[in-house]
């Protein structure tokens, strides 16, 4: 039963209730409409599912913050909104979440949040490169051991209209720990420290809290820099 009854994130219950109430109204209007409401209510519960994950314990590993597909691996400096002096290009791994993916986001490494910025913006397709500059986004700077810093950016998408982030500057997080979610289609970017190469490729499917994005203890292979597929 545990594998079937996946928990629902607390943020989702109010939406499930709204969908259920609308469904009752649709049944009163016409039974076929009511069954459409049932399907949508079940989809809403499915969207907000929040399964447990088994996170690797090696502190050198960078873990995926999102379920989805690696849509792009590129070079870019940390977001300017963090107002840092460091403008060195880093490897940025972008993970796109569609409306069928789990949308709960998890911290990629053990560390402390040492910087944050919220940027209002547009809601263009999150798979596009310009989404990292134009879309609404929540930016976190996570300081890992030995002072290594990671950028983690939640980006709203075409149908996403709300970014939820439950942490802020000073928060201490463990790799795989939940820190927020984005509603209805979006993207999460991870900026790796300089010299760290990804262990994933464009088009690969990732699982939040489980998939290894990189290993900071080894240079590994050259980054598979690529455009969106």
pTM: 0.83
pLDDT at residue 26 in the model: 87
Question: In the chain, what percentage of residues exceed pLDDT 70?
Answer: 87
Q: Which of 19, 177, 160 is nearest to 97 (CA)?
A: 160
Q: Which residues are 188's β-sheet partners?
A: 95, 154
pLDDT at residue 89 in the model: 93
Residues near 38 by beta carbon (within 8 Å), at least 6 away in sequence: 23
What is the C-alpha separation between 22 and 176, in angstroms, rounded?
A: 35
User: Highest mean pLDDT range out of 8-22, 42-56, 186-200?
Assistant: 186-200
Write out pLDDT tens, residues 45-95: 887 888 999 999 999 999 999 999 999 999 999 999 998 888 899 999 999
What beta strand segments (E) does 61-110 contain?
Answer: 61-63, 68-76, 90-97, 104-106
User: Highest mean pLDDT range out of 28-32, 57-61, 217-221, 224-228?
Assistant: 57-61
Binned at pLDDT 50, 70 and 90, residue 125 comes out as: low
What is the C-alpha separation between 192 and 72, in angstroms, rounded?
A: 14
Select the more confidently predicted residue: 128 or 143.
143
Dihedral over Cα of 141, 104, 189, 184: its sign: negative
Binned at pLDDT 50, 70 and 90, residue 27 comes out as: confident
Write out pLDDT tens, residues 145-178: 888 999 999 998 766 567 889 999 999 999 999 9
3-state secondary structure string across 110-143:
CEEEEEEEEECCECCCCCCCCHHHHECEEEEEEE
* Average pLDDT rounded to a whole number, residues 131-135: 75
Catalytic residues: 186
Residue 227 has pLDDT above 50, yes or no: no
């Amino acid at each position: 039963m545990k594998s079937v009854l996946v928990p629902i994130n607390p943020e989702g219950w109010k939406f499930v209730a709204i969908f259920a109430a609308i469904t009752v109204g649709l049944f009163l209007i016409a039974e076929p409409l009511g069954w459409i409401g049932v399907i949508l209510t079940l989809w809403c519960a499915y969207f907000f599912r929040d399964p447990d994950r088994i996170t690797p314990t090696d502190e050198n590993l960078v873990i995926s913050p999102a379920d989805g597909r690696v849509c792009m691996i590129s070079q870019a400096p940390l977001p300017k909104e963090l107002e840092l002096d460091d403008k060195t290009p880093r490897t940025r791994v972008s993970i796109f979440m569609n409306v069928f993916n789990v949308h709960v986001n998890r911290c990629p490494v053990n560390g402390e949040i040492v910087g944050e910025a919220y940027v209002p913006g547009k809601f263009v397709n999150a798979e596009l490169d310009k989404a990292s500059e134009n879309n609404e986004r929540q930016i976190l700077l996570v300081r890992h051991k030995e002072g290594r810093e990671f950028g983690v950016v939640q980006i709203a998408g075409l149908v996403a209209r709300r970014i939820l982030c439950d942490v802020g500057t000073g928060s201490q997080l463990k790799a795989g720990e939940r820190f927020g979610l984005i509603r209805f289609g979006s993207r999460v970017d991870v900026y790796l420290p300089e010299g760290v190469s990804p262990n994933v490729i464009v088009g690969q499917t990732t699982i939040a809290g489980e998939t290894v994005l990189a290993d900071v203890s080894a240079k590994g292979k050259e980054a598979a820099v690529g455009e969106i597929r």
